[in-house]
Amino acid sequence: MLEEVNRINLLYDIYSPLLTERQQEVMQLYFSDNYSLAEIATEYGTSRQAVHDLIQRTLSSIEKFEDKLGLYRLFNDQQELLDEAEGLLGNSKVGSKEIAQLRSILEELRQNTEK
C-alpha cells in the first residue's frame, strides 16, 4: 500500500503540470495533505462521491500519461543504474582520485534526475 502511494506521489510530481488546477489541488489535498474525501468535498462545496470520481479520473489520466510518455519508468531505470554504478564503485580497484571523481559525477546525475 505504501509503495503504491509513493508511486502515485511520484507520478503526480512528474505529470501534475498536465493536470487542471482543480485536479492538482484535489490530488495535493488527498495524497499529500491527507484530507479525507469529506473534508475536500466541504472545501469545494461538492459531494464526497464527486471528489472520489475526480480522484479516480485524475489517476486514470496520470496512468495514461505514463503509458504514453514513460517518464516514471525512465526515472526508475536511471535510479537503478545509478545504484548499480555506486555498487561497482565499492568493489572497484580504481584509484581513490578516480573513485572520488566518479562519486561526484554519480551525485550530480542523481541530483539531476531528482529535480
Return the pLDDT at 96: 77
pLDDT tens digits for range 58-72: 999 999 999 999 999
Of the candidate ranges 67-76, 78-87, 93-102, the one whose mean pLDDT is the lowest: 93-102
pLDDT tens digits for range 25-41: 999 999 989 999 999 99
**What's this model's pTM, rounded to 2 decimal places?**
0.72
Distance from C-alpha of 58 to C-alpha of 79, rounded to nearest angstrom = 26
Decide: 26 and 41 in contact? Cβ < 8 Å.
no
70-102 burial, b at 16+ Cβ within 10 Å, e below that, comes to: eebeebeeeeeeeeebeeeeeeeeeeeeeeeeb
